Amino acid sequence: MTDEPVLRMEGITKIFSGVTALANVDLSLARGEVHALVGENGAGKSTLIKIMTGAYTRDGGQMFLEGRAVDFRTPEDAQAEGVVAVYQEVNLLTFRTVAENIYLGREPRRFGLIDWKRMNADAAALLKRLGLDIDPRAPLGSLNIALRQMVAIARGVSFDAKVVVLDEPTSSLTEHEVQILYDVIRRLKAEGTAVVYISHRFDELYTVCDRVTILRDGRFVATRPLAGLEKIDLVCLMLGKQREELRQGTTAFKGATEAAAGETPLLSAENLKRGRKLNDVTVEVARGEIVGMAGLLGSGRTETARAIFGADSVESGEVRLEGKTIRRGSVNEAIDSGIAFLTEDRKAEGIIPELSVRENLTLAALPALSTLGVVSRARQAEIVDKFMKRLGIKAANADQKIRELSGGNQQKVLLARWLCKNPKFLILDEPTRGIDIGAKGEIQSLVGELAESGLGVLMISSELEELVEGSSRVVVMRDGQRVGELRGDDISQANIIRAMAEGTTGEATAASTATAHVTDTTPPAATPPSVPPAKGA
């Protein structure tokens, strides 16, 4: 294992229209190692692996595969040499079947024509081996995001590659699927494949990775064995800080305040119903309160948020802000009455890629910034300046296109888009997904601050620490239903997990308003009735 590395990158440099994304970065992968690549948002991780796999061309540096200098011009070249990547955003073909996605470009053929039978059989076998119950003939678009991600991973491992890169593979996976992924990684490792693993979740890194390479601002910081490297030191390396400078605790929340009893809620959403996805969901949030919303993937959290915001029309139910009913299915009325919604899918539903940071930031506030439809440049600049400072948005200037920013900074701009409107109620859907630890802390402490000044927040998150430390109450969802609520000292990771899994929250909610829903809930084994029996996992 100490002999020639499988793949070695030296002095890699990449410049995007004048901006240096990578400067002189080294990376060396040994046979059969799992190599973590970490760094803040925009540190250049994705860029580095795109260069490794031929998706981008490098502006400087060298790359050696098994000691041989290589120069991949396209991902096709890289694949041919056994360097394969599962890229950050789920990037597959939604109209094509699962099997086609897995074997695209390598379709088995007979007499020059595609051998569909064999392709589907091979795909079925592969998926089964990975413990996935997916019909290889299903169009990919019919799967949810998590399963699509698993298909992408299945494709990646089907190559018998020398190097497999996984760029934030778990950002939308369930715990169960993460376990499957770990098994896959261990198998690859045993076969001598080198795996590059990018993730912002430290627990995962420590579970599967052997060594770690740290990038900061496009520069190489260090490569270290993970064993023996304390988390806190890893964070320090990422941020370029000394140990003492870092605050304790995993999140930046200071412990939430609970709403005063008896007060009329700031927001109340009652009995929202939308097909099978939302079944009679009720949520209340008081002024100054952060209500967490937990649930497994696909449990209906985003649906709830969209229903409250009017982004989807609901069949029945009512949303009231400060007692005033908001017309169903009207985003504009929701916004006008003071509701804001930070979506979970930045790329598809958040940024306007070609517009500048300035225009993106002020998009929702334009009516307030304009008189008779004419926008005041001065007031716009004032707001942009203020929020770029306040949120620490890293951009060359306010006129940089938002698509050129890293994910975390894009997220901050989108948050600022809402904050500059002084909303009364803010919905955050996975506000820190795919965001580095520094930016995460900033966003978390900001949310805390805002709540202190009277903003009501509904925070959807898959990160339990975030919910536990940030919320005064946690609403738990499952299968489109609200299955419980935790408050006060009952809010703990263990309790949340139990509620998500079993649909009961124990005595904690016995006296709360949510009890009615909880007790009505059918036991988990019975839902949904139409589902075929489970295959062992």
| Interaction residues for other proteins, span 181-220 (CB under 8 A) | none
| 215, 388, 467, 476: which one binds other proteins (CB under 8 A) | 388
**Which lies closer to Mg ion via its Cβ, residue 34 or residue 146?**
146
**Which lies closer to ligand ATP via its Cβ, residue 46 or residue 282?**
46
Cβ–Cβ under 8 Å, residues 463 and 475 = no
| Interaction residues for other proteins, span 445-474 (CB under 8 A) | 445-446, 449
CB-facing half-sphere around the CA of 310: CA atoms within 13 A? 19
120 binds, among Mg ion, ligand ATP, other proteins, none (CB under 5 to 8 A by kind): none
| Interaction residues for ligand ATP, span 503-532 (CB under 6 A) | none
| 284, 344, 359, 466: which one binds other proteins (CB under 8 A) | 359
Cβ–Cβ under 8 Å, residues 86 and 167 = yes
Element (H, E) at 24: strand 19-29
Radius of gyration in angstroms for the set of CA atoms belonging to the chain, rounded to a whole number: 24
Is residue 302 involved in binding Mg ion (CB under 5 A)?
yes
What is the rounded distance in angstroms from the CA atom of residue 42 to the CA atom of residue 415? 18
Element (H, E) at 429: strand 425-429
DSSP letters along 335-362, please?
HHTTEEEE-S-IIIII--TTSBHHHHHH
Give the helix ranges, DSSP H, for 13-52.
Answer: 45-52
Q: Minimum distance between the CB of residue 134 and ligand ATP, rounded to whole angstroms?
A: 14
| Interaction residues for ligand ATP, span 422-461 (CB under 6 A) | 436
Q: What does the block give as tokens for 20? A: 């240096």
**Which lies closer to ligand ATP via its Cβ, residue 300 or residue 338?**
300
Cβ–Cβ under 8 Å, residues 407 and 385 = no
| Interaction residues for ligand ATP, span 34-93 (CB under 6 A) | 39, 41-47, 88
What is the rounded distance in angstroms from the CA atom of residue 182 to the CA atom of residue 274? 36
Regarding beta strands 316-321 and 290-295, do their DSSP bridges make them parallel or antiparallel, or are they unpaired?
Answer: unpaired
| Interaction residues for other proteins, span 86-145 (CB under 8 A) | 87, 91-96, 100-101, 104-105, 107, 109, 112-114, 116, 132-135, 137-139, 141-144
399 binds, among Mg ion, ligand ATP, other proteins, none (CB under 5 to 8 A by kind): other proteins
First to last CA, the chain: 33
Q: Which stretch binds Mg ion (CB under 5 A): 41-49, 57-65, 125-133, 506-514?
A: 41-49
103-131 burial, b at 16+ Cβ within 10 Å, e below that, comes to: beeeeeeeeeeeeeeebbebbbebbeebb
**Residue in 186, 207, 204 with CA at minimum distance from that of residue 195:** 186
Longest dimension (CA), the chain: 76
Is residue 432 involved in binding Mg ion (CB under 5 A)?
no
Q: Which stretch binds other proteins (CB under 8 A): 61-69, 261-269, 318-326, 385-393?
A: 385-393
Q: Count the site residues for ligand ATP by CB under 6 A.
A: 31
Q: Minimum distance between the CB of residue 28 and ligand ATP, rounded to whole angstroms?
A: 19
Is residue 461 involved in binding Mg ion (CB under 5 A)?
no
Q: Which stretch binds Mg ion (CB under 5 A): 27-35, 115-123, 182-190, 339-347?
A: 339-347
| 79, 88, 268, 410: which one binds Mg ion (CB under 5 A) | 88
| 177, 210, 344, 463: which one binds ligand ATP (CB under 6 A) | 344
Give the helix ranges, DSSP H, for 162-266.
Answer: 175-190, 202-208, 231-239
Q: Which stretch binds other proteins (CB under 8 A): 5-13, 200-208, 220-228, 524-532?
A: 524-532
Q: Which residues pair with 428 in a beta bridge?
A: 342, 459
| Interaction residues for ligand ATP, span 88-147 (CB under 6 A) | 88, 144-145
| 270, 363, 379, 490: which one binds other proteins (CB under 8 A) | 363
Instruction: For tokens 């009720």, name the residue.
Output: 282
What is the rounded distance in angstroms from the CA atom of residue 127 to the CA atom of residue 465? 32
Binding site residues, Mg ion, CB under 5 A = 46, 88, 302, 344
Binding site residues, ligand ATP, CB under 6 A = 16, 19, 21, 39, 41-47, 88, 144-145, 277, 295, 297-303, 344, 404-408, 436, 462
